[in-house]
Amino acid sequence: MSNADVVRVRIAPSPTGFFHIGNAKTALINWLYARKTGGTFILRLEDTDVERSKEEYAGVVFEALHWLGIDWDEGPGFGARAERGEYGPYRQSRRAETYHREAARLIEEGKAYKCFCTKEELEAAREQAAREKRPPRYSGKCRNLTSAEIAARGDAPYAIRFKVPEGVTEIHDLVQGTVRTENREFDDFVIVKPNGDAIFHLAVVVDDGLMKISHVIRGDDHLTNATRHVMLFKALGYPVPKFAHLPMVLDEHGKKYSKRLHGANVLDWREDGFLPEALVNYLVLLGWTPGDNRELFTREELIELFSLERLGQSAGKFDVKKLQWLNGQHLRRLSPEELRDRVLPLLEKAGLNVSAKSPEWLAHMAAICQEKIRTLNEIVDYTDFFFRDIETYEEKAVRKQWKSPGAGDRMRRVRALLDGTGAWTAETLRGVYEKEVAASGLSLGELVHPTRLALTGKSVGPGLFELAELLGKETCLARIDRAIQYIAKKGEVPA
């Protein structure tokens, strides 16, 4: 593989204490491409805006990426050593010198210039333009200052502006196709603030250039910026990387996915009991297909099948329903042990004492819920009765199962059946119930539902026989007794 073929891709989030769902998609596509091609995936923190970047926020980025199962080869976040890779530092806040050096070089080469215009002047000009319905562009006032004029300013503060060259700039976007723009559509934009901080445009280009990024894969909100960036790449003498601008993730109404919306933060989905592999699967599907009709993928399959060519070019609305379905599918593919391990923290968080149960028992419990739940969080409602006594019975179910004449007798019959059951397994219990159905003329449901209510206090849950087996004979009988008392106390409606 020649040097030109080496794939080096990156994501460059700004640590704001928040990892946006759109960032996650971008990260995923970059990562997939790197893993597919044997390339390098780089994490770089765009923390130049000191106001919004706090050190602990970097941890949020790491956490989100870890949760998604996206690992990076170069960048910060490698424990005590902090950074890994030969192109660091990987935080823009530590690259100020590099930006200054490159900006100075541009000035020397006549490709950038000092601008002494004040914030107020620029503000006024912008308002003026808005009033006259003109595009708000910098006038170029300081573009041709002579060295004498510059010297005359003394140590007045100045910004550095890029001198946009004449001509046309083309970008050959791998997703959007060729985009051709007249350079005159751009004004001379600022690349360094008067306080010395590099502006985003300079920083990304210098970083991407020096870090030898081969493909810039990012959201298509940067498509217009890409033209600016190409001009900068050329001015700085760096090879121009390939570009791929991905369509954005919109909310369910087709609007920009606002940070305020639940779900905008990747970790919201963890909170809601979704599996990272399901979210990953969903996010990839939002803008990519393998071409056949498959849509359920493991991480490995995704890497295997992924290609930049099959990326779509239109924005996609986020559809929670589909995510839920995918989540259910992935949930069912876990082993009982995996499911148990993922669900245990949730049970503990819900205040259930799981420590008394063996790992095997808990895996068994997970297994009988596996076909029933869609999200991890649902496990709590499906299993809480295993860990604590029943305090209340679901009201609606009580009306339906226990208010009819003969309900008490029926529960006494159930008690006798259970008491007489020898081998306490789901299978024998099922046999006992089926036999009773045949003998009594009742339907299975007429026996099962009241029993479920007595054992769990609810009308929904895992299969009755499976749950009864796990609950144990003793507990089951005690709960039936309690139900019989409950029914008696409330009084049956006489026939």
Footprint of RNA on residues 335-394 (CB under 7 A)? Answer: 371-374
Please give the Cα distance from 158 to 147 (Å, whole number).
14
Give me the least distance between CB of 3 and RNA, in Å please.
Answer: 28
What is the smallest separation between the CB atom of 192 and RNA, expressed in angstroms?
8
Nearer to RNA, 315 or 478 (CB): 315
The span of 253-261, 337-345, 358-366, 478-486 binding RNA (CB under 7 A) equals 253-261
Contacts of 400 (CB under 8 A, 6+ apart): 449, 459
Tokens matching residue 136: 């708000």
Q: Which stretch binds RNA (CB under 7 A): 78-86, 199-207, 359-367, 408-416?
A: 199-207
Binding of RNA by 333 (CB under 7 A): no
293-332 residues near RNA, rule: CB under 7 A: 293, 295, 310, 312-317, 319, 321-322, 324-325, 328-329, 332
For residue 475, the minimal CB distance to RNA (Å) is 18
Beta carbon nearer to RNA, 138 or 385:
138
* Interactions with RNA, residue window 452-481 (CB under 7 A): 452, 459-466
Contact 216, 226 (CB under 8 A): yes
| Chosen residue from 224, 404, 421, 425 binding RNA by CB under 7 A | 224
DSSP code per residue over 388-435: S------HHHHHHHHSSTTHHHHHHHHHHHHHT--S-SHHHHHHHHHH
Q: Which region among 106-114, 222-230, 345-353, 408-416 touches RNA (by CB under 7 A)?
A: 222-230
Which of the residues 388 through 447 are near RNA (CB under 7 A)?
Answer: 430, 443-445
Residues 6+ apart with CB under 8 A from 189: 138, 161, 162, 164, 199, 201, 228
Site membership for RNA, residue 131 (CB under 7 A): no
**Residue 72 interacting with RNA (CB under 7 A):** no
In the block, tokens 């941890």 appear at 59
CB of 6 to RNA, least distance (A): 26
At 181, which amino acid appears? T
Distances (CA, A) of 159 to 91, 123, 369: 22, 15, 63
Considering only 39, 209, 273, 287, the residue that binds RNA (CB under 7 A) is: 287
- Using CB under 7 A, which of 217, 230, 286, 411 touches RNA? 286
CA distance 111 to 188: 10
Angle (CA) 197-241-17 rounded to 5° is 45
Cα–Cα distances (Å) from 192 to 105, 113, 163, 188, in that order, read 13, 10, 13, 12
The two structure tokens encoding residue 474: 């003793």
Query: Which lies closer to RNA via its Cβ, residue 118 or residue 485?
Result: 118
Cα distances (Å, whole numbers) of residue 216 to 13, 34, 202, 299: 13, 12, 15, 22
Binding-site string for RNA from residue 29 to residue 48, where x marks contact by CB under 7 A and - marks none: -----------------x-x
Please report, as residue ranges, which positions from 157 to 196 form the binding site for RNA (by CB under 7 A).
Answer: 159, 176-177, 179-181, 185, 187, 189-190, 193-195
Residue 283 Cβ vs RNA, minimum distance, rounded to whole Å: 10
Q: Which is nearer to RNA, 161 or 415 (CB)?
A: 161
Q: Shortest gap between Cβ of 442 and RNA (angstroms)? A: 11
For RNA, which residue of 23, 92, 281, 383 counts as binding (CB under 7 A)?
A: 92
Residue 483 CA to chain centroid, in angstroms? 45
**Considering the complex, what minimum distance in angstroms separates the CB of residue 362 from RNA?**
19
Out of 54, 141, 242, 259, pick the active-site residue. 259
Task: For residue 443, give the 3-state DSSP assignment.
Answer: coil
Supply the minimum distance, in Å, between the C-beta of residue 289 and RNA: 4
Whether 259 is a known active-site residue: answer: yes
Query: Which residue in the set 98, 225, 421, 428 belongs to the binding site for RNA (CB under 7 A)?
Result: 225
Nearer to RNA, 291 or 359 (CB): 291
* Residue 64 neighbours by CB under 8 Å, 6+ apart: 19, 24, 266, 267
C-alpha 475, offset from chain centre: 42
Note the Cα 372 to chain centre separation in Å.
Answer: 24
Amino acid at the residue 208: D
Does 68 bind RNA (CB under 7 A)? Our answer is no
Closer of 194 and 336 to RNA (Cβ): 194
CA 405, 409, 414 angle in degrees (round to 5)?
130
Residues annotated as part of the active site: 259
